[in-house]
Amino acid sequence: MNLHSISRASERRPMSLTVKSRVRSRVVFVDLIDISEGGCKIRARAGFAEVGDRVTMKVNGINAPLGTIAWIEGQVAGVAFEGAMHPAVIDYLCDKQDDRDTGPELRRIV
């Protein structure tokens, strides 16, 4: 079985966000690549975790359900949530990210 053949119970939503997480009681900053009700895909330094490690994450101030590293391929890993993230929370996070992307452009005044 390869990673692309794993069936998904819910739609993955793309994200581009650095989040603070904990793996093996250490703080690890990871890039959140996508998220769904049942899990997410993250990127971090190679060796940051092993399959089966438990993960906690705080995404834009919201605690994600406790997760477990389901697979690792290089610097990318899949996290399976032990509970489900409510679809409205995912919508909120995606909307907040969209607002950030389309916000006013900041310029340096010289």
The answer to the question of residue 48 being in a domain is yes
Q: What is the pLDDT of residues 5-30, one digit of tens each?
A: 445 556 888 988 899 999 998 999 99
| 108 within a domain of the structure (yes/no) | no
Residue 107 scores a pLDDT above 60: no
Burial of residue 16 (number of CB atoms within 10 Å: 0-12, 13-18, 19+): exposed
Question: 107 lies in a domain?
Answer: no
Note whether residue 109 is domain-resident: no
Q: How many domains does the chain have?
A: 1
pLDDT band at 99 (very low <50, low <70, confident <90, very high): low
Q: Structural domain of residue 40, as residue ranges?
A: 3-100
Output the pTM of the full model. 0.78
What pLDDT does 94 receive? 84
